[in-house]
């Protein structure tokens, strides 16, 4: 009987030798995920100051960056905790010493609840979200067997209809069940209006988002009258970060994409006639590999290098003004030149603003961190592929 050999593949960056060299940003093997640290730090600082000014906490979403290094920077800047979309994402960050995790998606299977119990042993102040009494009961039973007390927040559906329980009697009954359970602690409410983040008209987005905050506030007030306090009222996002605090309901803001920005968020007005305060910090860098056709060059970054759920990437640098990027297949991208007489040399570096940052990050193992034209560090995408 033949058995397969046992081996482990350990991915290592092939670019460490470039760190610190002048011009090394443009010597990185491509396609590559490039993170401009100066712009990242600007975005982190702006959001921190904004939240402090509006007396609201910041609980940023790690589903965007999947990075313990970035989560640590956010916590050091004063974030009250870190959000994770999936259990495996939280596990990956906890392994790197990140605590105060809020899992924004429900865990419902026996196996995932067991994993959540183990995660609660490993990290400080883990909060799970639930949207039904059946799951809350199963978490209570698992916590009792494990000898743990688990913090729960109710995921409130304020219009997205993806997860969450509608405000009203069922949500109240769920809060009372959690509050009375021996191995559960009720922490508060989560409300994320993800369907509003990219509403282009600012006034429409503001009206609808403040209505979502009203629903959250009304549910909080009802629970108060019923003797249940809400320590945490968490929600919002990058698209409504400057709207939601106005309602005076949230204790902390969940924002993710603000750290990087992308084409989608750059095209959403942050307010009427107001400049976007966040800078684009994340890019996919590619290299021109063919230029034989007039008015057209081919790069090495195709469908496998970008998320494809939105419009094509926007060229940031490396091509003449007016050039546009398109997908030329799985492995290649194309750059259409405005003038057929223009030429882009082989080996030229072409950097693009990504269409959607979260799923693009999930395609890469490493952030190539730069300042100016120098590669200064390489950070792992710790939670890449952690979607269970």
CATH 3.40.50.720 fits 60-254, yes or no: no
CA 271 to chain centroid, in Å, comes to: 22
The mean pLDDT of 271-286, rounded to a whole number, is 95
pLDDT at 8 over 70: no
| 320 membership: H or E segment, kind and range | none
Question: b/e string for 175-211 if b means 16 or more Cβ within 10 A?
Answer: bbbbbebebbebbbbbbbbeebbebeebeebbebbbe
Q: DSSP H helical segments within 68-184, as ranges?
A: 68-76, 87-95, 110-122, 133-146, 169-180
Q: Cβ of 22: how many Cβ atoms within 10 Å?
A: 8
**Cβ proximity of 57 and 253 under 8 Å:** yes
Angular region, 364: left φ>0, alpha ψ -120 to 50, beta rest = beta
Residue 310 has pLDDT above 90, yes or no: no
| pLDDT tens by residue, 217-242 | 999 999 999 999 999 999 999 999 99
Instruction: Give the mean model confidence (pLDDT) for residues 181-198.
Output: 98
In this prediction, residue 134 has a pLDDT band, given cuts at 50, 70 and 90, of: very high
The CA distances from residue 230 to 1, 82, 371, in Å, are: 61, 19, 43
d(CA 233, CA 377) in angstroms, rounded, equals: 37
DSSP E strands in the chain: the ranges are 32-36, 57-58, 82-84, 101-103, 127-130, 150-155, 184-191, 232-235, 252-253, 282-290, 296-299, 314-317, 324-327, 333-336, 349-353, 366-371, 374-380
133: tokens are 């009494």
| Per-position b or e across 286-306, b if 16+ CB within 10 A of its CB | bbbbebeeeebbbbbbbeebb
For residues 333 and 238, what is the distance between their CA atoms, to the nearest angstrom? 29
Question: Crossing angle of helices 110-122/87-95, nearest 10°?
Answer: 20
Q: Supply the DSSP symbol for 319.
A: S
In whole angstroms, give the CA distance from residue 369 to residue 82: 22
Contact in structure between 387 and 86 (CB atoms under 8 Å): yes
* Per-residue model confidence (pLDDT) at position 13: 82
Residue 24 has pLDDT above 80, yes or no: yes
Cβ atoms of 84 and 93 within 8 Å: the answer is yes
Q: How far, in Å, CA of 16 to CA of 27, rounded?
A: 11
3 pLDDT exceeds 50?
no
Q: With a cut of 60, say whether residue 9 has pLDDT above it.
A: no
Tokens found for residue 47? 């959001």
Report residue 306's pLDDT band, with 50, 70 and 90 as the boundaries. very high
pTM reported for the whole predicted model: 0.95
CA proximity to 103, closest of 133, 139, 141, 61: 61
* SS3 label, residue 188: strand
Class at the top of the CATH hierarchy for domain 18-35+277-380: mainly beta
Percent of the chain with pLDDT over 70: 97
Q: Please state the domain extents for the chain.
A: 18-35+277-380, 60-254
């Amino acid at each position: 009987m033949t058995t397969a050999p046992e081996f482990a593949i350990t991915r290592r960056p092939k670019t460490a030798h470039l760190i610190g060299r002048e011009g090394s940003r443009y010597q990185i093997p491509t396609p590559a995920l490039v993170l401009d640290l100066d712009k990242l730090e600007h975005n982190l600082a702006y959001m921190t100051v904004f939240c402090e000014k509006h007396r609201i906490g910041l609980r940023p979403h790690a589903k965007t960056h999947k990075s313990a290094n970035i989560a640590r920077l956010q916590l050091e800047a004063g974030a009250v905790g870190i959000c994770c979309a999936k259990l495996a994402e939280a596990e990956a960050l906890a392994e790197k010493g990140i605590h105060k995790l809020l899992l924004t998606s429900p865990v419902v299977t026996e196996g995932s609840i067991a994993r959540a119990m183990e995660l609660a042993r490993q990290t400080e102040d883990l909060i799970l979200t639930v949207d039904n009494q059946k799951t809350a009961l199963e978490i209570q039973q698992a916590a009792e067997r494990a000898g743990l007390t688990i913090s729960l927040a109710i995921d409130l559906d304020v219009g997205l209809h993806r997860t969450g329980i509608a405000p009203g009697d069922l949500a109240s009954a769920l809060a009372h069940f959690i509050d009375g359970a021996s191995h559960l602690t009720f922490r508060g409410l989560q409300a994320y209006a993800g369907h509003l983040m990219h509403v282009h008209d600012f006034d429409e987005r503001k009206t609808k988002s403040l209505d979502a905050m009203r629903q959250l506030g009304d549910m909080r007030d009802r629970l108060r009258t019923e003797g249940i306090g809400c320590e945490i009222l968490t929600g919002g996002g990058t698209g409504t970060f400057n709207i939601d605090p106005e309602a005076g309901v949230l204790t902390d803001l969940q924002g993710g994409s603000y750290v990087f920005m992308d084409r989608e968020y750059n095209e959403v007005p942050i307010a009427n006639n107001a400049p976007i305060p966040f800078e684009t910090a994340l890019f996919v860098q590619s290299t021109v590999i063919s230029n034989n056709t007039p008015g057209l060059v081919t790069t090495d970054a195709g469908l496998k290098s970008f998320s494809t759920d939105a419009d094509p990437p926007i060229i940031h640098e490396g091509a003449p003004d007016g050039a546009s990027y398109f997908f030329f297949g799985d492995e290649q991208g194309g750059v259409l030149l405005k003038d057929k007489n223009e030429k882009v040399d082989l080996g030229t570096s072409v950097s693009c603003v990504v269409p959607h940052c979260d799923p693009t990050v999930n395609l890469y193992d490493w952030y190539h961190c730069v300042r100016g034209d120098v590669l200064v560090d390489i950070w792992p995408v710790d939670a890449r592929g952690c979607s269970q």
